[in-house]
């Protein structure tokens, strides 16, 4: 039964549920107040009327010149010292022969009426004054009071109910807008849509802001995935086309083993290019997904010294001057293979594009270590310098396109490695004035503090 009730309530809109919930409690509170008022009203009206009766009688007893047979709902009767009625006016059905007894308000009732009366002796000649008031008037006043409650309470309740419902409905507009936007995005796959709300600072407006921020992230991821798919297709199209063309040529036109080998060499070269591209894409995907990577104490100085020895030989074989200035005992928290890959990307790019020299340096301050790789090549324009960290982006002009080298993933991989290590990356360059790629790491003692 409870499960069925819960299911019924689950299908009711939140605004209606909240309205019904607080309406139930308001009705309960109002009913309790009416019940308390009905009980209290009788006591209050009687107490007020009795005090009024006693006060009025005492006032006349002290000053007989104030005597009047009837005033403000009270009947006044004058008695002699021996209890004989000598003047005044008595209400109908009231027993005037009741014994005189001052000091308190007393009740007289018969089959038809109820009366309260109060006796007070005057200071002159022992004359008594009796005041009589109808108790039925209390019930009339109480009835009018309860009638007023019966009329006002439904009106006030309807006002509270409507006002509460409208307030809750307006407050829930951001939720409705979020639901609508989510449905529209699901149908259209348009991640550019956002929740549009008037200015507000409540919790639901804050939630809508978080939702919009999430949509910003989703749109960025979605666009990146679309761009990645397009870029991968573009990068693979050429080598696949070459492989297919060489395969067809070898199968149809190769006259001897040497011609077949030439085609096989081209196919092997393009296959290696595809394999390298796939490896880089997989590595980039692994870096972007985060994974569970444990960073350890590594010597940045040692990594640079080992790479410097390797690239010094490579540079010498190409007639390029290679110099390095590496600070000793610089340690950071990181992954040695990833750090080596980042630096290798910087150095291999410098080796490809430099004109005559490469400078590798590592300097350390109290809190950070700054790695720098400089070359004196053609340089990078400001526009390209902002985009080279994107996947598959290759700078235009002589720096890269003329060499037809690389897939445009190396610096994107370096950027993700830096992000994992909490490092900063950048490039200082101008077209025709060489380039300086740099990375800044936090020192180990600061990281562990």
CATH number for the domain that contains residue 351: 3.30.565.10
Mean pLDDT of the chain: 78
In a shared domain, residues 240 and 268: yes
In a shared domain, residues 319 and 416: yes
Q: How far is CA 283 from CA 338, 413, 446, in A?
A: 11, 8, 29
Q: Which of 312-321, 376-385, 418-427 has the lowest mean pLDDT?
A: 376-385
In a domain, 189, yes or no: no
Domain count, the chain: 3
Both structure tokens of 276: 């390298």
Given pLDDT bands bounded at 50, 70 and 90, which one contains residue 304?
A: very high
pLDDT score of 299 more than 80? yes
DSSP secondary structure string, 106-164? Answer: EEEE-SS-EEEEEEEE-SSTT-EEEEEEETHHHHHHHHHHHHHHHHHHHHHHHHHHHHH
DSSP tally for the chain: helices H, then strands E: 11, 13
In a domain, 172, yes or no: no
In a shared domain, residues 284 and 305: no
Answer whether 0.75 is exceeded by the pTM. Answer: no
Out of 77-86, 135-144, 293-302, 360-369, the most confident range is 360-369
- Mark which of 288, 304, 325 sits at the end of a domain: 288
Q: What is the CATH classification number for the domain harbouring 283?
A: 1.10.287.130
In a shared domain, residues 161 and 258: no
**Residue 371: predicted pLDDT:** 94
Q: In this predicted model, which residue has the larger pLDDT, 348 or 167?
A: 348
In a shared domain, residues 222 and 152: no
Q: Which of 2-6, 107-111, 130-134, 138-142 has the lowest mean pLDDT?
A: 138-142
Q: How far is CA 60 from CA 71, 86, 227, in A?
A: 11, 15, 103
In a domain, 179, yes or no: no
Given pLDDT bands bounded at 50, 70 and 90, which one contains residue 290?
A: low
**Residue 152: predicted pLDDT:** 77
In a shared domain, residues 350 and 437: yes
Given pLDDT bands bounded at 50, 70 and 90, which one contains residue 441?
A: very high
In a shared domain, residues 419 and 310: yes
Q: In this predicted model, which residue has the larger pLDDT, 4 or 250?
A: 250
In a shared domain, residues 110 and 126: yes
**Residue 214: predicted pLDDT:** 83
Domain that holds residue 76: 14-167
In a shared domain, residues 249 and 350: no
* CA–centroid distance for 20 within its chain: 27
- 3-state class (DSSP) for residue 188: helix
Report pLDDT digits (tens) over 397-419. 444 444 445 556 778 878 888 88
* CA–centroid distance for 338 within its chain: 36
In a domain, 441, yes or no: yes
Query: Is 299 in contact with 330 (CB distance < 8 Å)?
Result: yes
- Mark which of 236, 258, 288 sits at the end of a domain: 288
- Mark which of 243, 259, 288 sits at the end of a domain: 288
* Cβ neighbours for 322, distance < 8 A, ≥ 6 positions apart: 308, 311, 312, 315, 316, 357, 358, 360
In a domain, 7, yes or no: no
In a shared domain, residues 376 and 336: yes
In a shared domain, residues 431 and 321: yes
In a shared domain, residues 37 and 102: yes
In a domain, 422, yes or no: yes
In a domain, 394, yes or no: yes
In a domain, 181, yes or no: no
Report pLDDT digits (tens) over 315-354. 888 899 999 999 999 999 988 888 888 888 899 889 888 9
Q: What is the CATH classification number for the domain harbouring 163?
A: 3.30.450
């Amino acid at each position: 039964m409870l499960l069925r009730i819960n299911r019924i309530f689950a299908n009711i809109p939140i605004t209606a549920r909240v309205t019904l919930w607080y309406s139930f409690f308001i009705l309960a509170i109002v009913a309790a107040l009416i019940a308390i008022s009905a009980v209290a009203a009788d006591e209050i009206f009687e107490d007020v009327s009795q005090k009024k009766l006693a006060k009025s009688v005492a006032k006349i007893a002290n000053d007989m010149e104030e005597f009047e047979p009837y005033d403000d709902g009270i009947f006044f009767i004058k008695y002699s010292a021996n209890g004989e009625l000598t003047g005044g006016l008595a209400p109908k059905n009231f027993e005037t022969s009741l014994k005189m007894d001052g000091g308190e308000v007393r009740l007289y009732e018969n089959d038809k009426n109820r009366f309260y009366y109060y006796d007070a002796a005057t200071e002159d000649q022992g004359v008594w004054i009796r005041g009589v008031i109808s108790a039925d008037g209390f019930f009339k006043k109480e009835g009018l009071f309860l009638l007023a409650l019966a009329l006002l309470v439904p009106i006030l309740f309807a006002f509270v109910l409507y006002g509460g419902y409208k307030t809750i409905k307006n407050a829930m507009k951001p939720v409705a807008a979020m639901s609508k936007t989510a449905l529209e995005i699901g149908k259209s796959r348009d991640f550019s849509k956002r929740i549009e709300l008037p200015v507000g600072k409540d919790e639901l407006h804050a939630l809508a802001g978080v939702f919009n921020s999430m949509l910003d992230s989703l749109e960025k991821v979605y666009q990146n995935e679309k761009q990645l798919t397009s870029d991968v297709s573009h990068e693979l199209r050429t080598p696949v086309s070459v492989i297919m063309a060489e395969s067809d040529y070898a199968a149809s036109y190769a006259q001897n083993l040497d011609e077949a080998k030439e085609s096989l060499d081209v196919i092997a070269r393009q296959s290696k290019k595809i394999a390298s591209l796939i490896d880089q894409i997989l590595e980039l995907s692994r870096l972007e997904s985060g994974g569970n990577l444990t960073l350890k104490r590594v010597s940045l100085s040692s990594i640079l010294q080992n790479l410097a020895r390797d690239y010094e030989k490579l540079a010498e074989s190409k007639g390029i001057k290679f110099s390095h200035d590496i600070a000793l005992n610089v340690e950071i928290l990181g992954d040695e293979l990833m750090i080596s890959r980042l630096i290798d990307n910087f150095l291999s790019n410098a080796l490809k594009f430099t004109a005559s020299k490469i400078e590798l340096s590592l300097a350390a301050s109290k809190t950070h270590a700054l790695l720098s790789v400089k070359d004196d090549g053609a340089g990078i324009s400001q526009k390209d310098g902002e985009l080279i960290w994107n996947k598959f982006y290759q700078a235009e002009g002589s720096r890269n396109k003329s060499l037809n080298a690389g897939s445009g993933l190396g610096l994107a991989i370096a950027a993700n490695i830096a992000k994992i290590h909490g490092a900063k990356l950048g490039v200082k360059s101008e077209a025709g004035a060489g380039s300086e790629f740099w990375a800044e790491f936090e020192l180990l003692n600061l990281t562990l503090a």
